[in-house]
Structure 1
Amino acid sequence: MNTLSTPETAAVLDRLFAAADREEADPAPWPLDIPIAEASARQRADALAGEYMPISKPAGRLLYTLARHGRPETIVEFGTSYGISTIHLAAAVADNGAGHVWTTELSQVKVEAARANLERAGLAGHVTVLAGDALETLAGIRGPIGLLLLDGWKDLCLPVLRLLEDRLAPGALVAADDSSFTSMADYLAYVRDPGNGYVTVEFPVEDGMEISCRA
């Protein structure tokens, strides 16, 4: 069973990836008067509410494979956007026959779009989309967390990891997308320090994905 290949799920993913490709080919200019690095998370979320910022197709298949193999009861995602990565995780949960995905998104525009995309893909029942600041929405998530995807604002990946760290199951996987970005330096330094309890490797999908095991 591979839900990713079912007509309804494949159609949604094809549409979303095609829209993201068009966006990448003709990117919109940054709309605010201040540099993006100086904007708050809320300002960035509102200014880029129409931007897909997706994982790549190989990264999606990687996430699906990891979730199928590990069969985690609880999957947490930071950074839903339009739901491309969420659909891959939810498909794995559906095919495993157990588990649930908890995902969080700051942009209300994207929250509504992601929920609609999950509904069209036939996967809404496997996902809870939380609206708001991840440091608040994820504070009440109960462990053990078997798989954590960090794909929101890069400067918040380490704070979100630290927030959830005591709820990671032994052997839990943490996947951080866009590991090649300079804004991921603090995060990478943390998970690559053996003293912090991870075994980690960079996986060569587009823009890199750091995959860390909670050892």
Structure 2
Amino acid sequence: MLLYMLARGCGAQTIVEFGTSFGISTLHLAAALRDNGGGRLITSEFEPSKVARARNHLAAGGLSDLVKIREGDALQTLSVDLPETIDLLLLDGAKGLYPEILSQVESHLRPSAFIVADNANHSPDYLARVRSPGKGYLSMPLDDDVELSIRVC
């Protein structure tokens, strides 16, 4: 529900997700895009079996048209053909890659874009970056090891 609320609240039109898994968070984000009048969600997942399940969930939810699942290593799949501006970034994949994924998409994050990092406590380098003054973010931990940040450049 948090993801849906954030995406709706900021009027998100473009969302990037690292770590599709079975597509549950993807469904919430895509539903927010639909309710915002449309948009585009680019998501990346390494495991083919999870991609198949996510596609099935999106089809069952009638949201496939809003989502592009990129299968493979996110360091490659999220390094090309990104939207000019990103309204919301969800980090929910391999925790050690959070700093690199953020670096890849950072130039596309619009001012006041939300960044949600699940289990961020397992990525101390990521936390150091988004919590450091002067790095362009305001950040705070939420329950369940979620870090919520906003781009303030």
What's the TM-score bracket when you normalise by the shorter of the two chains? over 0.9
Identity %: 48
Structure 2 Cα separation of the partners of residues 147 and 194 of structure 1:
21
Q: Does 1:111 align with 2:51?
A: yes
Distance of 1:149 and 1:77 partners within structure 2: 5
Q: What is the Cα deviation at residue 98 of structure 1?
A: 2.2
> Aligned residue for 2:87?
146
Matched, 1:188 2:97: no
If each structure's strand is expressed as a fraction of its own residues, which one has the higher value?
Answer: 2
For residues 71-150 of structure 1, the aligned pairs below 5 Å read: 71-140=11-80, 141-150=82-91
What is the number of residues matched between the two proteins? 151
Aligned partners of 1:71 and 1:99 also within 8 Å:
no
Q: Once the two structures are superposed, what CA deviation does each residue of 1:165-203 show, in whole Å capped at 9, x if it has no partner?
A: 1111011111001123xx311110110001211011111
Question: Which residue of structure 2 lines up, in the alignment, with residue 201 of structure 1?
Answer: 140
Question: Where do 5+ consecutive residues of structure 2 fail to align?
Answer: none
The residue type paired with residue 151 of structure 2 is R
Structure 1: segments with no counterpart, 5+ residues: 1-60
Look at both structures and tell me which one has the larger radius of gyration over its CA atoms.
1
Q: Is the 8 A contact 2:114 2:148 kept in 1?
A: yes
CA RMSD of aligned residues (A): 0.9
Three-state SS of the structure 2 residue aligned to 1:65 is: helix
**What amino acid maps onto 1:194 in structure 2?**
P
Moved over 3 A (4+): none
Q: TM-score, normalised by structure 2?
A: 0.95
Q: Distance in 1 between matches of 2:83 and 2:29?
A: 18
TM normalised by structure 1 equals 0.68
Kept in 1, the 8 Å contact 2:13–2:36? The answer is no
Quote the offset at 1:143 in angstroms: 2.1
- 2:120 corresponding residue in structure 1: 179
**Separation in structure 1 between the aligned mates of residue 75 and residue 12 of structure 2, nearest angstrom:** 22
Higher relative contact order (CA 8 A, sep 6+): 2
Provide the rounded CA distance (Å) in 2 between the counterparts of 1:152 and 1:143.
23
